[in-house]
A = this chain, B = another copy of it.
Amino acid sequence: MVYRRSLLMEERLANNRDRILAATRKLVAEGGFREAQIAAVAALTGVSTGMIYRYFSSKAELFVEVLGAAVGAEIEILTEIAQGSGSASERLSAAVTCFVRRALKGPNLAYAFVFEPVDPEVDTARLRYRKKFGNVFKAILVDGIEKGDLPDQDPEASAACIVGAFTEALVGPIGPTTRNMHDRERLVESIQTFCLRAVGGAAKQEGAAEPTSAPALSSDPD
């Protein structure tokens, strides 16, 4: 053989993959999964449609990976908060606030990731991810209940409720509507209070934790 993948080529391939992912992510952020057709992704990436299939075996796989990356980043941030110091109530407040704020910053992407209908395969993945979000909250709850910080309750159910609560409260605002900052913060607070009270936590504690790590639910990952 006279051809063996050079290092340079190796790099380019990896680079291509990343560019495809980035393009998909951007399209999803702008117009939801709906707008991220293979042809569009290819065009934005600057390659042919066939190329996409060299890197991803199907559109669903591509989507799942994009979804997974974005969600993974969020989970990481939340997990950090969940494992931080402070009472369960404080951590819960911080986590909810953090998630909601970030979602409001990248509304389209958040909508796509949380709600937008795609195909079954992607939806299955989404369900898994939602569950993951739930687990972060569940951990906080379990800890709080154990320490007597929170009243006894089914942490599984409560965690699901929490995820559902802020998620649904976001659907409206998350749409094309561009709310102003004031409204947003008000919403953040409403949701936070709701969730905290829901699990029987102590009254809120403003200005807790909340690391300001890299944005992930906004279109440009700079």
Contact = CB atoms under 8 A, between A and B. Distances in A.
A169 B157 CA distance: 6
B123 A171 contact: no
A161 interface: yes
Contact of A194 (B167, B172, B198): B198
Which secondary structure dominates chain A's binding surface?
helix
Number of copies: 2
A168 B171 contact: no
Interface stretch (A54-62, A74-82, A185-193): A185-193
B165 A162 contact: yes
Contact of A168 (B34, B153, B154, B160): B160
A187 B130 contact: no
Nearest to A198: B198
Contact of A164 (B119, B157, B165, B199): B165
Contacts of A158: 190, 194
Interface string A95-129: 00000000000000000000011111001000100
A172 B161 CA distance: 11
Contacts of A164: 164-169, 171
Contacts of A197: 197-200
A195 interface: yes
A174 to B, nearest CB: 11
A163 interface: yes
A198 B117 contact: no
Interface in A169-222: 169, 171-172, 186-187, 190-191, 193-195, 197-200
Contacts of A120: 34
A161 B186 CA distance: 14
List 8 tightest A-B contacts by C-beta distance, closest first.
A164-B168, A117-B117, A198-B198, A157-B190, A161-B165, A164-B164, A154-B190, A160-B169
